[in-house]
Amino acid sequence: MTHKHTVGEDVDCWCTRCKLILAHTVESMIGSRITRVHCKTCRSQHTYRPHAPGEHPTQSGAARPPAPRATRATPRATHVHDYAALLSGRDTSTARAYATQDRFAPKELILHPTFGLGVVMMLKDRTKIDVLFRDGMKTLLHSH
């Protein structure tokens, strides 16, 4: 038996600010679907999320085994291989220190204080660049 919710009713859902399943009040609905709620603990307003991130309801109620994560290892290995190939034969001492106000060009080496040595892969728009680091691709600001 499914319960039909109404505006003003209390429901338990994931709070995006508290990062917990907490009591919320339904603020708006489209048909029988809850769309907006507000947290009774922190009073933030957000989209209704019945489950915590990464949790999915199962149809039978039985616990579902976790999805295999082998696909994630392959892109990371590819990033490390690409990263090593992009750096091979290049003088890493020519890397410029990263600063958001500086402008960078594709294939330029940069030295980021947190991520380390990186290669600018592409300009995303006037103020963003994609940079490949040893740990993977990051989007950074430039000309800002």
Domain chopping of the chain, boundaries: 1-60, 73-141
Place of tokens 């490390």: 80
Residue 73, classed as helix, strand or coil, is: helix
Closest CA to 132 of 123, 116, 120, 144: 120
pLDDT at 71: 47
pLDDT at 74: 45
Q: Given a cut of 80, is residue 114 above it in pLDDT?
A: yes
pLDDT in tens, 61-99: 455 555 555 444 445 555 566 888 888 899 999 999 999
Q: Given a cut of 90, is residue 16 above it in pLDDT?
A: no
CATH domain 1-60 topology: SH3 type barrels. (2.30.30)
Residues of the chain with pLDDT > 90: what percent? 45
Predicted TM-score (pTM) above 0.75: no
Separation of alpha carbons 21 and 86, rounded Å: 45
Separation of alpha carbons 70 and 73, rounded Å: 6
Q: Given a cut of 90, is residue 23 above it in pLDDT?
A: yes
